[in-house]
């Protein structure tokens, strides 16, 4: 299986997502539905057929011309694993080619523990070993932090307390699978582009407010990561010269002013919530 570029990989994923959502589809309908040229669709679907991810089905009814060949997902045998890393827990999912979730698990996790990397790799490896699919295509990881190269997966994260952590290498060694690691908001932006409200839009912005503040930037249909992989890290933009101290050590970061901890502290101070209360869904 050839290693595609990031844009090609996104287009391949978009084809799989479209067929997963709409069922068997012709190449012409894929081109119209995804806004891609027929020539590019032909090339991408040829590669997906060669990789065993698509299969050719019956022809659609003729409307006066040559009947169109329908394409469908190779069901049952292929799946993938997704992992969300938070400071205090891990969420794991297994999905089929069309994006349907077949299995989930949540595990307690302490990102600051000296054995955090070993615990994470053991948890992911065990989850993969119980896969319901005959073939796992790989593992995708979303986390709060900077990842310069998705395929390398070296992580810097103030929220997790990690500096140059070789997570990608550790997971590849533990699972024997391809591993892609990305900032969690970038991953969310890509998911919105493929499955959510971003479908059909070339340019949009995703902003999240939680323990941190993050942005996922999509321009020209692709996620913008920037030279150092932190194009969407708006949480550490300086907003107040003598503002509250951020977890990164600087003063007045956006995250220190409107992040979850700051919002809770302000709400307690103003009497909106009790002294021991937090934010609940």
pLDDT tens for the chain, residues 1 to 281? 444 555 666 788 788 878 877 788 999 999 988 888 999 999 999 999 998 889 998 766 555 556 788 999 887 688 999 999 999 999 999 998 777 899 999 999 999 999 999 999 999 999 999 998 988 989 999 999 888 777 788 999 988 999 999 999 999 999 999 898 999 999 999 888 877 888 878 899 999 988 889 999 999 888 888 877 778 889 989 999 889 999 888 999 999 999 988 999 889 988 888 888 887 65
Residue 123 is predicted with a pLDDT of 98
CB-based burial label for 150 (10 Å; 0-12, 13-18, 19+)? buried
Q: What is the DSSP string of 40-95?
A: HHHHHHHHHHHTTSEEEEEEPPPSSSPPPEEEEE-TTTEEEEEEEE-SSEEEEEEE
Residue 3 is predicted with a pLDDT of 47
- Cβ pair 202, 221 in contact under 8 A: yes
3-state secondary structure of 111: coil
Options 3.50.50.60, 3.40.50.1370, 3.40.309.10, 1.10.10.10; which CATH number does 6-73 get?
Answer: 1.10.10.10
Residue 5 is predicted with a pLDDT of 53
Domain boundaries, the chain: 6-73, 78-189, 200-269
Residue 196 is predicted with a pLDDT of 84
* Cross-strand partners of 26: 70
So what's the architecture of 200-269 in CATH? Answer: 2-Layer Sandwich (3.30)
Q: What is the DSSP letter of 236?
A: G
Q: In 134-279, which ranges are continuous DSSP H helix? A: 167-175, 184-195, 254-258, 260-269
Q: How far apart are CA 10 and CA 3, in angstroms?
A: 12
Same fold for the pair 78-189 and 200-269: yes
Q: How far apart are CA 186 and CA 157, in angstroms?
A: 15
pTM (whole model) above 0.85 = no
* 116-119, Cβ contacts within 8 angstroms, sequence gap of 24 or more: 117/165, 117/167, 117/170
Third-level CATH fold of 78-189: Nucleotidyltransferase; domain 5 (3.30.420)
- Cβ pair 154, 163 in contact under 8 A: no
């Amino acid at each position: 299986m050839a290693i595609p570029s990031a844009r090609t990989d996104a287009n391949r994923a978009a084809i799989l997502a479209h067929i997963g959502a709409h069922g068997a589809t012709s190449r012409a309908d894929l081109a119209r539905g995804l806004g891609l040229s027929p020539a590019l669709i032909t090339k991408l679907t040829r590669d997906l057929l060669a990789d065993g991810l698509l299969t050719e089905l019956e022809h659609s009814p003729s409307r006066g011309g040559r009947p169109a060949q329908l394409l469908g997902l190779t069901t049952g045998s292929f799946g993938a694993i997704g992992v969300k890393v938070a400071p205090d827990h891990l969420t794991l999912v297994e999905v089929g080619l069309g994006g349907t979730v077949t299995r989930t698990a949540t595990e307690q996790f302490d990102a600051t523990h000296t054995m955090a990397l070993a615990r994470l790799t053991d948890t992911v490896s065990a989850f993969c070993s119980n896969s319901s699919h005959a073939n796992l295509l790989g593992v995708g990881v979303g986390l709060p932090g900077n990842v310069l190269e998705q395929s390398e997966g070296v992580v810097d994260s103030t929220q997790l307390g990690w500096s140059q952590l070789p997570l990608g290498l550790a997971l590849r060694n533990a699972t024997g699978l391809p591993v892609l690691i990305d900032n969690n908001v970038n991953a969310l932006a890509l998911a919105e582009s493929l499955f959510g409200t971003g479908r059909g839009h070339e340019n949009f912005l995703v902003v999240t407010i939680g323990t941190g503040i993050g942005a996922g930037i999509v321009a020209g249909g692709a996620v913008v990561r920037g030279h150092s992989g932190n194009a969407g890290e708006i949480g550490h933009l300086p907003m107040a010269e003598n503002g509250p101290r951020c977890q990164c050590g600087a003063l007045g970061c956006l995250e220190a002013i409107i992040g979850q901890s700051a919002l809770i502290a302000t709400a307690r101070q103003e009497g909106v919530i009790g002294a021991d209360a937090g934010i609940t869904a």
